[in-house]
Amino acid sequence: MCEANAYLLKEGGDEELIFENVDRVLPGEEGILMEDIFGKRKLLRARIKEMALVDHKIVLEAF
């Protein structure tokens, strides 16, 4: 499968898993809208810091 897990970068550099099985990532003015393979959605006030697609990993940082 090609979905990824999304992590939020915390102070100190730690990463917190916030959403699994992400299938779609839609950036917008209010933040990042993510949708998983089951249709569940999550909107975060964040921007993309890094996407490592081979590792199935999306790292976000809050704004």
pTM over 0.75: yes
pLDDT for 57 equals 97
Question: What is the bridge-based pairing of β-strands 46-52 and 57-62?
Answer: antiparallel
DSSP string, 30-52: TEEEEEETTS-EEEESEEEEEEE
Token pair for residue 48? Answer: 């993309």
pLDDT for 2 equals 78
> Partners of 59 in the beta sheet?
7, 50
> For 28-55, what is each residue's pLDDT tens digit?
999 999 999 999 999 999 999 999 999 9
Question: What is the bridge-based pairing of β-strands 57-62 and 4-9?
Answer: parallel
Q: Report CA Rg, the chain.
A: 11
- Average pLDDT on 13-31 reads 96
